[in-house]
């Protein structure tokens, strides 16, 4: 189920997913994905939850929702407190995990390669996924590719 949070005059779409740990399969935990900010609530269906909110899985759904709101506040405030980069500055590396369900690709962005690789490994286990690849914004080639045989 999607949630929408508003902060700084912007809306953010959230997806909270229940996951199981191999160590404790009977004890659920929750992880969160977030969309980029958008101004008009009518645009929500077009904004996919492509940003994984890092950290350990949380024990309750409510804890996950609180964590997501705190993360959005920190991320938004930090992003808007920094001066706009000049034309000569270097951009940071962003890793995009491309997940193919049939021929339809879905991109999920991560700031850390380890997070992208963990997400890709989880996506490979899905029966509906046919291909998973990781790219970054510095190279047009895939860094890693997995295809269902």
Query: How far apart, in whole angstroms, are the C-alpha atoms of residue 93 and residue 73?
Result: 22
pLDDT of residue 2: 77
Q: What are phi and psi of 20, to 5 degrees?
A: -115, 145
Residue indicated by tokens 């492509």: 50
Please report which confidence band the pLDDT of residue 54 belongs to, taking 50, 70 and 90 as the band edges.
confident
Closest CA to 109 of 34, 48, 50, 49: 50
% of the chain exceeding 70 in pLDDT:
92
pLDDT of residue 84: 55
For the stretch 60-112, pLDDT in tens is 989 999 999 999 898 888 877 655 555 555 558 899 999 998 878 888 889 88
Average pLDDT on 118-128 reads: 88
pLDDT of residue 132: 93
pLDDT of residue 105: 85
Query: How far apart, in whole angstroms, are the C-alpha atoms of residue 124 and residue 101?
Result: 11
Q: Which residue has the higher pLDDT, 149 or 75?
A: 75
Let me know: does 99 contact 119? Beta carbons within 8 Å.
no
């Amino acid at each position: 189920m999607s949630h929408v949070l508003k902060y700084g005059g912007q809306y953010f779409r959230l997806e909270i997913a229940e996951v199981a740990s191999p160590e404790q399969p009977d004890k659920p935990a929750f992880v969160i994905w977030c969309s980029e900010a958008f101004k008009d609530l009518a645009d929500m269906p077009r904004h996919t939850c492509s940003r994984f909110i890092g950290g350990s899985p949380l024990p309750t759904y409510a804890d996950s929702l609180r964590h997501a709101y705190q993360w959005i506040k920190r991320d938004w405030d930090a992003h808007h407190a920094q001066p706009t980069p000049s034309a000569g500055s270097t951009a940071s590396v962003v890793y995009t995990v491309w997940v193919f369900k049939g021929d339809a690709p879905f991109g999920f962005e991560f700031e850390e390669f380890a997070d992208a690789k963990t997400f890709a490994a989880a996506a490979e286990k899905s029966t509906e996924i046919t291909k998973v690849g990781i790219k970054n914004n510095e190279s047009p080639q895939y860094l890693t590719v997995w295809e269902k045989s």
